[in-house]
Amino acid sequence: MNLAPTKLTDEERNLQTEVRAFLDERLPPGTYPLGLGMAGDVDPDFSRDLAAQGWVGMALPTEYGGGGRTAVERQIVVEELLTRGAPIGFHWTADRQSGLNILHNGTEEQRRELLPGIARGEYSFAIGMSEPDAGSDLASLRSKAVREGNTWHVNGTKIWTSGAATATHILGLFRTSDDRHGGMTQFIIPAGTPGMRISPIPFIDGTQHFCEVVFDDLQLSDAARLGEVGAGWGQNTSELALERGGVDRWMSLMPILERWATTETVRDSAAAQIDLGRILARLWAYRGMSLSIARLVDAGRFPVVEAALVKEMATQFEQESLALVRRHYGRAPSLNSADPWEALLAQAILVAPSWTLRGGTTEILRSVISKGLVQR
């Protein structure tokens, strides 16, 4: 495995400056609910405004309304958004993975219908993979799609579906035959399709992004199928690789770190300065690794193992960094504090255990990494 060091070019730095200027204007501090990285607030207006700048769907080809930009350029935009705790929840999943999945596996009709809406920031996707008895062991999922003529009948339950209540589409993985890995197929289900019941599962911090989605004889035409019947496992695995490599996996804490670095706690304490230095050094290293992964993607490679490695290390780093900030803070922060930063710190403490779960648990990633390295 070789993650070659890389730097931003002058053009890439110009993009960074442009994004910063736009966000200074569009998101002045105190005018929006601060979010923890990719768990940022859902704000369709902000998603559309960002899209109008050409910064949603950047990786999609221009013929489908996308930006035709590089993975590095997308990372530059993403870094700026996450650093500010921006309200990116509405477009996030579609921008990061569903659009590319549709581009690679969809029919021409699906591409023409869905990709421009994603690039305009108008479509919001939720991903229905996990089930009550199939999380890490996704191949044991039981929700079924059964074909009768041109109609698929969908039954079963999905769980932990982030953003399902506000999504315009759910991209779900369903069992279409008994073949363990070869018997799963993906379907694109528009919100409001009869036969779908979405209930929020209140998260530990009081938010309601998490959902249970029950399908009760939901009927879909064959045009809703994404890719070949039985190709769902491979498509889903490729999508997970897109989910794991990016900076969004480990930049949850940025608004907290930025503010903490300027507080008295750090100014007046040598021990806190040493810890801040340690955090920054590691942050810079992970940032370099994610950038190298983006360069590999731009060179046409598919760095699945590298992405899993960064997620495994960097999500634990996030939790360790939070533990340090919390220790130096010296008292229990309140979720109801009038200071949005303190409330965000309290929220982070509550949800931090989920950072090493979402997108694949640490144990599962270790298995992906070790198998990948043995095969090289």
Ligand X SMILES: Cc1cc2nc3c(=O)[nH]c(=O)nc-3n(C[C@H](O)[C@H](O)[C@H](O)COP(=O)(O)OP(=O)(O)OC[C@H]3O[C@@H](n4cnc5c(N)ncnc54)[C@H](O)[C@@H]3O)c2cc1C
Residues of this chain that interact with ligand X (CB under 6 A) are: 127-130, 135-137, 160-162, 354, 357-358, 360-361, 363-364
Beta strands in the chain (DSSP E): 125-128, 144-148, 151-158, 169-175, 184-190, 196-200, 211-221, 225-226
Q: Strands 196-200, 211-221: parallel, antiparallel or unpaired by DSSP?
A: antiparallel
Q: Any idea what DSSP says for residue 156?
A: E
| Closest residue to bound ligand X by CB | 135
DSSP 84-151: TT---TTTHHIIIIIHHHHHHHS-HHHHHHHHHHHHTT---EEEE--BTTBSS-GGG---EEEEETTE
Q: What is the four-CA torsion angle of 321, 88, 113, 172, rounded to 10 degrees?
A: 50
Residue type, 340: P
Start-to-end C-alpha separation, the chain: 9
Residue 110 tokens read as: 């699906």
DSSP helix/strand/coil, 267: helix
Residue 187 tokens read as: 């379907």
Determine the Cα–Cα distance for residues 190 and 108; give it in Å rounded to an integer: 18
Determine the Cα–Cα distance for residues 358 and 346; give it in Å rounded to an integer: 19
| Residue among 110 and 162 whose Cβ is closer to ligand X | 162
| Phi/psi of residue 215, nearest 5 degrees | -110, 125
CB of 174 to ligand X, least distance (A): 12
Q: Any idea what DSSP says for residue 205?
A: T
